[in-house]
Structure 1
């Protein structure tokens, strides 16, 4: 059986009534949170996903087949699924994990489906478009790079500075992460991802694992250049808490400083933060100003969970920012 290259109808054109062209960059649960929120604001969405995962099902498939790690791509597709019974059922199928005493244990079915389409089509983006079509996805999912990547971090510990390689090891590092880099250095970006950023109305960074899901986008030269030069406005969504291991001891302002350290040419228009997650509003305000951004404080935390973004509250914050109705710094909404 030979499948056509892609069910996706060519270059992206904004559909009538589809809303602003929005590109969200990240990976894992953080990117999924953004996508679940921003789909309430626009139907013209693109997710650009990190490809450095080396743990779990993704890491095993990456090592065995020398492919991009599919897990974060799968999660982004699932977050964009259609709300019909069809879309939600196929989302659950994609997310299903096998439990056994054999080699299939902990593999996500969606990872295997994506891998199968990669092998059939020989084109990662076309394969992701096919999975998106199956889900009725409200948007497109793209890998940020054409090759699988490794993350290496400089971690300051009580014994000095250590070099830690691998996304899963960096995420669990015991110490303060000071700097990250990609291996191979200066990797090629997917041209579709670069074009999406260039043509966007808004680009969103965060929330998510700061050093292993958010900052890596700034370390792909062509993608970083597009982020610096795009006419789109740029929004950063801060996390609701520090991530154990990766960002222990970092304040909200430190997160913005880390972005500028890794991409000094980056300018940001809006920083969205939940006031309950900000230790010092004045310090965060200074950090936002250094990025060229206006600080927007909104209650975006889910009421029944400590560190999960509520999709509707975050959507309301995005809507305010996109429409320019962002009020005064320090204003919060229920």
Structure 2
């Protein structure tokens, strides 16, 4: 790998993967994937097998764990989901797998010691160090990507940290109870006791990342999901500039459904309910295709009807990782993406 410096931003050159019979690689295919956490990690792991130009646009409302501590102490974007996306774009060479493991490594103090580095991921600290040195979150992520040999770029959805809040609906003594919860981590946890509703992002006029808007405009395909529906997927539709970009882009749009509807954020919701929440959050958004594992949808006809209201056809494809629980298999998801991209 060779790193050339142009101005202050690195440009990484590396050999392109050769096409294979199973997963033909298209170096000209431009895909922008939106999400956060493990869901986006799965999407990117699949896309790097088939697409030459990949951009990840990542939520920046996380306030739990290592990211939450860093955000509170240093007034920066939460780096955790950005780190996950960079790690997913590392290739399967010794260089890529080593740096992926380094970025994901978490510190643990010896027994009996409550260390200040406990539970911090090294990648989070590296990203924040680059931000402090360069004074630019996008430039910092590009330098981190160059170090890792990442097969694509990672961008924040906004250049300022966002705060998420929402209402939890629950039943108590036969009456409907409304509880307002602040913070992404608290919102996800509170969903265990009710149904998440009416989520909000603050500041309301937060700016979208200009580079992310450009990536949405120039993509051949834009991918939304999978992931925590209310805290990783829907936030991308709540930032006004980004929502408008998604509605108006000439790119085709795909949605990847979760493998299960029973999560802490979606208690009592079926697959069709997921689509209805998305439709009401962004009324002007049309989709081209929705990828769903057949085992995650109880009523296929009803789901197809709900998809049609978003303008989308449904591609039912086995994309789960078998015995690994509700996790998308990168190889199977790559096959599903190829089918979706090639037939729409």
TM-score by length of 2: 0.90
Deviation string, structure 1 residues 192-250 (Cα, Å, up to 9, x no partner): 00000011110000000000001001011111000000000000000001353211111
Residue of structure 1 in register with 2:18 after alignment = none
Q: Deviation at 1:149? A: 0.5
C-alpha contact (below 8 Å) 2:167/2:197 kept by paired residues? yes
CA distance in 2, matches of 1:296, 1:265: 22
CA distance in 2, matches of 1:17, 1:25: 20
Residue of structure 2 in register with 1:313 after alignment = 332
1:231 aligns with 2:240: no
Aligned length: 317
Residue of structure 1 in register with 2:44 after alignment = 35
CA distance in 2, matches of 1:222, 1:104: 37
C-alpha contact (below 8 Å) 2:236/2:242 kept by paired residues? yes
Residue of structure 2 in register with 1:25 after alignment = 34
Deviation string, structure 1 residues 62-105 (Cα, Å, up to 9, x no partner): 00000000000000000001221111111111100001221100
CA distance in 2, matches of 1:43, 1:248: 38
SS in 2 for 1:43: strand
In structure 1, which of residues 37, 49, 70 is the aligned counterpart of residue 58 of structure 2?
49
CA distance in 1, matches of 2:314, 2:26: 29
Residue of structure 2 in register with 1:5 after alignment = 8
1:1-334 counterparts in 2 under 5 A? 5-8=8-11, 18-100=27-109, 101-159=114-172, 160-173=177-190, 174-324=193-343
CA distance in 2, matches of 1:40, 1:287: 31
CA distance in 1, matches of 2:342, 2:231: 31
Residue of structure 2 in register with 1:329 after alignment = none
C-alpha contact (below 8 Å) 1:172/1:244 kept by paired residues? no
CA distance in 2, matches of 1:30, 1:297: 18
CA distance in 2, matches of 1:244, 1:230: 31
CA distance in 2, matches of 1:187, 1:266: 20
Q: Deviation at 1:8? A: 3.6
List gaps (5 residues or longer) in structure 2.
Answer: 1-5, 13-24
CA distance in 2, matches of 1:208, 1:169: 17
CA distance in 2, matches of 1:6, 1:95: 24
SS in 1 for 2:54: strand
Residue of structure 1 in register with 2:20 after alignment = none
Instruction: Quickly say closer, same or farther: Cα 1:322–1:17, change in 2 above 3 A.
Output: closer
CA distance in 1, matches of 2:158, 2:290: 26
Considering fraction of residues, name the structure with more strand.
2
CA distance in 2, matches of 1:298, 1:163: 38
CA distance in 2, matches of 1:166, 1:216: 13
Instruction: Quickly say closer, same or farther: Cα 1:17–1:297, change in 2 above 3 A.
Output: closer
TM-score by length of 1: 0.92
SS in 2 for 1:172: helix
- Kindly report the root-mean-square deviation, in angstroms, between the aligned alpha carbons of the 2 structures: 1.5
Q: Deviation at 1:41? A: 1.5
Q: Deviation at 1:176? A: 0.8
SS in 2 for 1:83: coil
C-alpha contact (below 8 Å) 2:26/2:50 kept by paired residues? no
Deviation string, structure 1 residues 110-152 (Cα, Å, up to 9, x no partner): 0000000000000101110111111110100000001000111
